[in-house]
Amino acid sequence: MALQATSILPSSLSVHKEGKSSLSGKDTSFCGVSFSEVSPLVIRNKRELKSQRLSVGQIRAQTAATSPGVNQSTQGKKTLRKGNVIITGASSGLGLATAKALADTGKWHVIMACRDFLKAQRAAKSAGIDKENFIVMHLDLSSLDSVRQFVDNFKRSGKPLDVLVCNAAVYQPTAKEPSFTADGFELSVGTNHLGHFLLARLLLDDLKTSDYPSKRLIIVGSITGNTNTLAGNVPPKANLGDLRGMAGGLSGTNSSVMIDGGEFDGAKAYKDSKVCNMLTMQEFHRRYHEETGITFASLYPGCIATTGLFREHIPLFRLLFPPFQKYITKGYVSEEESGKRLAQVVGEPSLTKSGVYWSWNKTSASFENQLSEEASDVEKARKLWEVSEKLVGLA
């Protein structure tokens, strides 16, 4: 998929024609090797670990002491330092295109947090991302241990964290039986929601202490989780119910593998996970925006019908889906254009509003979109937060 993604990137320049017309005026159209500057493997004892952490703290303190987010250049001119942005799942599709869009500005250092180190390296290379502007760090969101390990590695690198983008996802539309994360959760919700939930919680302090002018936590959502749209009404529809399956651990042993307690359905599990993503963003906003000044946002980037997300769909679907979206729903957007959209949410000074779900209209202008009733349910968001905390071991 990396090859597919990167071969599409340079050739799709007719981008501002896409992301078109709107029926509702709302969501769109129609009707391995861990990165380590300080490798965890070279830390031999607890004291050494402590002293390394200490030095990270010292580096941070020094950076903060000079002047917030600003570097003094040799001519004495003050320039904004490069922003550090972590993007999960940056080895293909939207994540890769966003990494490329940000790196190309020269204003961002992208930490590509990926499960396949070599794939990510190759993808970055064939997308033409300057090696000065990115690194790859290993992160497998389907393992809570891996999430914790990633966070430790990142903290030890001593880099400030300015923006976190929770982008990675899996979609299993044709699976007859559920598969599971290392911790025994149904794979789609376990990866797309629970892995990101733990990651974001553990990195919140880093965002908080960053001295960058605009700190952001972005969680990618989707139209298909929003039942106030036509796309969100294509069966199976998202529905978290009363979260009984999730409260039971999504493991299929004592409870259902589905959040609402129903029978396994891979497409529904994906859509449910997107609802979780959008609810989580809002709950972060309610709990932490005022205190931390962090901007929390979600978005629907458009229908990027060519990405690896559809790798498990039947070949006929993969063949017909892009022309269907391009010519019939007109919801299609190229990977390159979607990357520019997400890059705006990362860095545009005009998009600092927190608690917002962004979408784009036919002229590719961003607007604040309405979430469905369920995806904006305050009580459900709170409950989801609490159940998720338990499942990932934070409560």
What are the catalytic residues? 270
Choices 119-127, 157-165, 321-329, 366-374; region in contact with ligand LMG by CB under 6 A: 321-329
H or E stretch covering 135: strand 134-138
Minimum Å distance from CB 290 to ligand NDP?
A: 27
Question: Token pair for residue 381?
Answer: 């968001």
320 binds ligand LMG (CB under 6 A): yes
What three-state secondary structure class fits 236?
coil
Residue type, 5: A
- If binding is defined by CB under 6 A, does position 362 make contact with ligand PMR? no
Using alpha carbons, list the distances in angstroms from residue 130 to 37, 104, 122, 155, 159: 19, 8, 12, 24, 19
Shortest gap between Cβ of 45 and ligand PMR (angstroms)? 46
Of 212-271, which residues contact ligand NDP (CB under 6 A)?
220, 222
Q: Which residues contact 83 (CB under 8 A, 6 or more apart)?
A: 107, 108, 109, 162, 163, 212, 347
| Contacted by 163, from ligand LMG, ligand NDP, ligand PMR, none: CB < 5 to 8 Å by type | none
- DSSP secondary-structure letter at 180? B
Residue 92 binds which of ligand NDP, ligand PMR, ligand LMG, none (CB < 5-8 A, kind-dependent)? ligand NDP
Residues 6+ apart with CB under 8 A from 274: 192, 221, 222, 224, 225, 238
**137 phi and psi angles, rounded to 5 deg:** -125, 140
235 lines the binding site for ligand LMG (CB under 6 A) = yes
Neighbouring-strand partners of residue 82: none
Residue numbers 31-90 binding ligand PMR by CB under 6 A: 31
| CA distance linking residue 32 with residue 195, whole number of Å | 17
Which of 112, 141, 246, 303 contacts ligand PMR by CB under 6 A? 303
User: Which stretch, 12-20, 139-147, 217-225, 254-262, contacts ligand PMR (CB under 6 A)?
Assistant: 217-225
Segment 286 to 305, residues that bind ligand NDP, using CB under 6 A: 300-301, 303-305
Bridge partners of 163, per DSSP, are: 85, 216
Nearer to ligand PMR, 191 or 222 (CB): 222
Q: What are phi and psi of 390, to 5 degrees?
A: -65, -45
Among 101, 110, 137, 139, binds ligand NDP (CB under 6 A): 139
The residue from 132, 205, 317, 365 that contacts ligand LMG (CB under 6 A) is 317
Residues 6+ apart with CB under 8 A from 143: 181, 182, 183, 195
Q: Tokens 């794939």 map to which residue? A: 119
The answer to whether 82 touches 102, Cβ cutoff 8 Å, is no
Q: Which of 173, 184, 248, 261 binds ligand LMG (CB under 6 A)?
A: 173
**Cα separation of 73 and 80, whole Å?**
10
Give the C-alpha separation, 195 to 111, whole Å.
17
Indicate the length of the chain as a whole number: 395
CB of 141 to ligand NDP, least distance (A): 4
Stretch that binds ligand LMG, among 89-97, 116-124, 191-199, 316-324 (CB under 6 A): 316-324
Q: Which amino acid is at 235?
A: P
Q: For residue 338, give the nearest of 3, 1, 9 by alpha carbon.
A: 9
Q: How far is the CB of 165 from ligand PMR (least distance, A)?
A: 16
Q: Does 319 bind ligand LMG (CB under 6 A)?
A: no
Of 32, 40, 57, 323, the one binding ligand LMG (CB under 6 A) is 323
Q: By CB under 6 A, which span of 13-21, 134-142, 245-253, 348-356 interacts with ligand NDP?
A: 134-142
CB of 213 to ligand LMG, least distance (A): 40
Task: Please report whether residue 170 would count as binding ligand NDP according to CB under 6 A.
Answer: yes
**What is the smallest separation between the CB atom of 370 and ligand NDP, expressed in angstroms?**
16
The encoded tokens of residue 45 equal 């004892």
Contact partner at residue 331 from ligand PMR, ligand LMG, ligand NDP, none, CB < 5 to 8 Å by partner kind: ligand PMR
CB of 75 to ligand PMR, least distance (A): 47
- Among 93, 160, 232, 266, interactor with ligand NDP by CB under 6 A: 93
Q: Is 391 in the site for ligand NDP (CB under 6 A)?
A: no
